Amino acid sequence: MIRKLSFTVLFVLLLGLFAGFAVAQDAVNITIRCIASPPEEDWRCNNFAVVEEQVEADLGIELNLNLIQDNASWGDYKNEFVLASEAGEAPDIILSGHEDIGAWAPAGFIIPLDDVIPMHSEFEDIVPSLWDSHGYAGQIWGIPQDAEARPIFYSKLLLRDLGWSEDDIESLPDRVASGEFTFADMLATAEAAIEEGVVDSGNGWWHRPSNGPDFLYYYYGHGGEVLDMEGNLVVDRDALVATYELLGGAVESGVLRSDIIGLDWSEVWHPTVGQAETVLFAAGGTWNWPNWAINYVADRGGDEYLFENIGLTLIPAMGTGKAITLTHPLTYMISSGSPHPDVALALIAAITTPEHNNKHAIDSFHLGILNAQLESEAYANNRLLSSAHYMLDHTTSLPNHPGWNAWSGAYFLGIQAVETGEADAAGAADIAIAQMQNELGDGITVR
């Protein structure tokens, strides 16, 4: 009897196993790889799980989603996709910086989307300017996942100590946007704060402590260009020198510390800037805000503490006379090795809605990518997003070009040289240009 029962149980189990295999074989497997700082950016991948059933119903298929999401370093993350692509094991959807289009499109790792984008009405509502950063060789290669602004955060706490009125403080973003309050004014304010003992020398203004997109807006702000009309790399010496003069001058005047590059992000930079008690102005990104609220000032009241003590504004006008910021949209790209690019795109379309993108925008303080988001109640009523969305009107972006890496590396060398006093502005420009010419050869034009 027991023997019979055992056989029956075994038979049922095997039947179930085979049935499971049969179902699994029919299901469409989609792997999605995202980079995200937990928990505030988790919607980048998690949104796909939310729309899984909807897409299954729309397409009449069974989906088997494999979401891989972590907070890897950018270098490792990008190499992982390159190696996986070559090994034929790339995820179907990869989320990365739009500038990777410049390397991955010519390598054939991702597919152009021009012909298929019109098949999904969701994409019609994407803020038009965001598409500019998704092009390469005349085609579109990715769908924007988010946008952000890279503003100047200012400490209201310290400006009050400096004697600024509430009106002065609250009107600062408008005065910056109009060009009335310039970068030179910002540096002068920082100098005054140091002279009056409101902040220590070197704490008037901080920029990021490692290479990254932010640095390009100083060059843009002085009229520099990275690509010419034909899409070739260029470097404008005058803009380069002006940029290095600004950065080197800030160090010389004591506004900016000479060892800012190399400070530890999480151990020093974030806790210092987020607490608003030490640094007057800091160049950061909108997503820093929820990070600070969760990780650095939660015990002081989180968001409320930040609203009380920190404000954000565009980067004040430099040589061009116009306030500026830089947006670095992350982008969903579809791997050329994906056997189901149509399903992958349908999934991306399903999460490209105000409802789903708002969750990411609100939790992580990234700006919306859809016009309809601006009109949605959740977005419009969000104090933070509504205070920053206008920055998209003043934004710039990185170029999509295979040589951008060499260009930016050389540009950053000049910044390091001038801030540590190893070269003056003209010398730093010479260093950067020589490095660009050595690595890019005929691929760079010096103007």
Partner 1 sequence: MSEPNRKPKSSAALLQSRRNALRSYLGAYGFMAPAGVLVLIFFLIPVAIVLYLSVTNLASSNFTSDLAKMEFIGLKNYRTLFNDQFARKIFFNTIFYVLVTLSLFNVSLALIVSLLTTHIDRSAGFVFRALWILPRITSPVVYILIWKRMAAEAPFGILNQFNELLGNPTYNYVATNPWVFVVVVNGFIGVSFGMIIFTSAIESIPKDLLNASLVDGSSRMQRIRYVILPLIRWPLLFVVTYQTLSLLTSFVEIQLLTDGGPGLYRTEVWSLTAFHRALSNYFGNAQWGYGSAFAVLLVMIGVVLAVIYMRVFRFDELVAEPRVEAL
Decide whether 168 or 430 has the Cβ nearer to partner 1. 430
Interatomic CA distance for residues 314 and 43, integer angstroms: 27
DSSP SS3 for 431: helix
Interface pick for partner 1 out of 182, 336, 387, 420 (rule CB under 8 A): 420
Q: Considering only residues 52, 100, 146, 236, which one is a binding residue for partner 1 as defined by CB under 8 A?
A: 100
Contact 436, 225 (CB under 8 A): no
Q: Which residues pair with 234 in a beta bridge?
A: 445
Question: Which residue from 29, 64, 139, 210 is in contact with partner 1, where contact means CB under 8 A?
Answer: 210
The 8 Å CB, 24+ separation contacts for 273-278 are 273/153, 273/206, 274/306, 274/310, 275/300, 276/155, 276/156, 276/157, 276/158, 276/306, 276/309, 276/310, 277/155, 277/157, 277/158, 278/199, 278/200, 278/203
State both tokens at 138. Answer: 């005349």
| Shortest CB 209 distance to partner 1, Å | 10
Task: Answer yes or no whether residue 417 interacts with partner 1 by CB under 8 A.
Answer: yes
Q: Where are the beta strands (DSSP E) in 71-223?
A: 93-97, 135-136, 139-140, 143-144, 152-155, 205-206
How far apart are alpha carbons 263 and 252 in whole angstroms? 19
User: 14 is written with which tokens?
Assistant: 């095997």
Cα–Cα distance for residue pair 341/279, rounded to 1 Å: 48
Task: Tell whether residue 427 is a contact of partner 1 (CB under 8 A).
Answer: no
Say whether residue 203 binds partner 1 (CB under 8 A): no
User: Does 426 contact partner 1 by CB under 8 A?
Assistant: no
Shortest reach from residue 393's CB to partner 1, in Å: 26
Subset of residues 301 to 360 that bind partner 1, contact rule: CB under 8 A: none
Per DSSP, helices labelled H in 275-313 are 288-295, 303-309
- Among residues 52, 102, 58, 109, the alpha carbon closest in space to that of 80 is found at 109
Rounded distance between C-alpha atoms, residue 279 and residue 270, angstroms: 11
Task: Specify the residue, 82 or 192, whose C-beta has the smaller distance to partner 1.
Answer: 82
Measured between alpha carbons, how far is 250 from 183 in angstroms, rounded to an integer?
Answer: 11
Q: Which one of residues 114, 405, 446, 447 is an interface residue with partner 1 (CB under 8 A)?
A: 405
Q: Which stretch binds partner 1 (CB under 8 A): 63-71, 99-107, 305-313, 335-343?
A: 99-107
**Residue 413 in the binding site for partner 1 (CB under 8 A):** yes
Total site size for partner 1, rule CB under 8 A: 49
Q: How far is the CB of 235 from partner 1 (least distance, A)?
A: 16
- Of 46-54, 63-71, 137-145, 210-218: span binding partner 1 (CB under 8 A): 210-218
Q: How far is the CB of 284 from partner 1 (least distance, A)?
A: 16
The answer to whether residues 272 and 264 touch, using CB atoms and an 8 Å cutoff, is: no
Of the ranges 152-160, 227-235, 243-251, 255-263, which one interacts with partner 1 (CB under 8 A)? 255-263
State in angstroms the smallest separation of the CB of 416 from partner 1: 5
Query: Does the protein bind partner 1 through residue 424 (CB under 8 A)?
Result: no
Q: Is 264 among the residues that bind partner 1 (CB under 8 A)? A: yes
Stretch of 93-101, 139-147, 290-298, 311-319 lying at the interface with partner 1 (CB under 8 A): 93-101
3-state secondary structure of 384: helix
Which residues of the shown chain bind partner 1 in the complex (CB under 8 A)? 73-76, 78-79, 82, 85-87, 96-97, 99-100, 102-104, 106-107, 109, 210-212, 259, 261-264, 267-268, 271, 398, 402, 404-406, 408-409, 413, 416-417, 419-420, 422, 431, 434-435, 438-439
